[in-house]
C-alpha cells in the first residue's frame, strides 16, 4: 500500500480529539512529501540535525515535533522553528529550551516525559521528580516555554496487559497534575495533551486517554 493510503486508513480510524504525528525519522524527503501531499502536516523526528535538514527543504506550514531524547547543547539548532518537544525529562533541559526560545523571541511548547516502562533504557521523570519540577521556583520563572502535557513510552513487549497498565499509570499522573502543590493556572493552563501510543499500540493508548499518537512504520513502512 502507498503512504497516502496508509495515512488515510489511519486517519479515518482516529477519533477527532487525537492528533497524528507522522514519525518520519530516517525516511527520505520524498516519502515525507508524499505524506504532505496527502494532507499530513505534523512530522516527528528523533535527531535534531535530520529535522533541521528536512525543515530547510520542505514547506514551511509543517509542524515539526522533536520526539527523541534531547541533548541540551543541540536545542539551539531547532529553537527557531520546532513546534513541540516531546521528550523533556529534566529541569536543566527545560531551562535551555527557555533560554533558546527567548533568543528566538518565541514560546516553545513542550511535553514532560514520564518514565512508565519497565525498561531502564527509556528516559523520563518519575512522579516525585515531576512534582518537584513543577513546584520549583525555577519552573515558575520560565516565561518562554509552555507545558502542553505529558509524554510516555510503554515497554516494548507483546504483553498487552503490561502496556495497558503503563498507559493507565500515565493517565493517572496526567490527571493528578492539577493537584500538585504550587500548581498555578498560569504555568499549566495549557495542559491538555497526553502523547502515548505508537504503531503497535496506539489503539490501546487512545482507549486509555491518549490525545496524540506517534506513528511511523504503519505509515511509511518498516526501515
Spatial CA neighbour of 75 closest among 55, 91, 94: 94
- Give the pLDDT score at 105: 98
197 is written with which cell numbers?
501510543
- Give the pLDDT score at 119: 75
Q: What is the pLDDT of residues 54-90, one digit of tens each?
A: 999 999 999 999 999 999 999 999 999 999 999 999 9
Spatial CA neighbour of 66 closest among 90, 86, 88: 86
pTM for this predicted structure: 0.93
Q: Which residue's entry shows cell 533541559?
A: 93
- Give the pLDDT score at 118: 84
For 3-220, CATH number out of 3.20.20.10, 3.40.50.1110, 3.40.80.10, 3.40.50.300 equals 3.20.20.10
- Give the pLDDT score at 179: 67
Q: What is the pLDDT of residues 149-173, one digit of tens each?
A: 999 999 989 999 999 999 999 999 9
Spatial CA neighbour of 84 closest among 25, 51, 27, 44: 44
Q: In Å, what is the CA distance from 111 to each residue of 44, 79, 148, 196?
A: 14, 15, 6, 11
Question: CA-to-CA distance for 163 and 153, rounded, in angstroms?
Answer: 9
pLDDT < 50 stretches in the chain: none
Please report the sign of the dihedral spanned by the C-alpha atoms of residue 98, residue 101, residue 103, residue 106: negative
- Give the pLDDT score at 180: 63
- Give the pLDDT score at 1: 83
Amino acid at each position: 500500500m502507498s503512504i497516502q493510503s496508509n495515512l488515510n486508513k489511519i486517519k479515518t480510524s482516529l477519533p477527532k480529539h487525537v492528533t497524528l504525528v507522522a514519525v518520519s525519522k530516517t525516511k527520505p524527503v520524498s516519502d515525507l512529501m508524499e505524506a504532505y501531499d496527502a494532507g499530513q502536516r505534523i512530522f516527528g523526528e528523533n535527531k535534531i540535525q535530520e529535522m533541521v535538514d528536512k525543515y530547510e527543504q520542505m514547506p514551511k506550514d509543517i509542524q515539526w515535533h522533536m520526539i527523541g531524547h534531547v541533548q541540551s547543547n543541540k536545542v539551539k539548532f531547532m529553537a527557531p522553528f520546532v513546534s513541540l518537544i516531546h521528550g523533556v525529562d529534566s529541569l536543566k533541559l527545560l531551562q535551555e529550551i527557555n533560554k533558546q526560545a527567548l533568543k528566538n523571541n518565541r514560546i516553545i511548547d513542550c511535553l514532560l516525559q514520564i518514565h512508565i516502562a519497565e525498561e531502564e533504557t527509556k528516559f523520563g521523570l518519575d512522579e516525585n521528580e515531576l512534582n518537584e519540577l513543577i513546584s520549583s521556583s525555577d519552573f515558575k520563572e520560565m516565561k518562554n516555554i509552555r507545558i502542553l502535557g505529558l509524554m510516555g513510552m510503554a515497554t516494548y513487549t507483546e504483553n498487552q496487559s503490561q502496556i495497558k497498565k503503563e498507559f493507565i499509570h500515565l493517565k493517572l499522573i496526567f490527571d493528578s497534575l492539577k493537584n500538585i502543590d504550587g500548581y498555578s493556572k498560569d504555568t499549566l493552563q495549557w495542559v491538555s495533551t497526553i502523547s502515548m501510543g505508537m504503531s503497535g499500540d496506539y489503539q490501546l493508548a487512545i482507549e486509555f486517554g491518549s490525545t496524540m499518537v506517534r506513528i511511523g512504520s504503519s505509515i511509511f513502512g518498516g526501515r
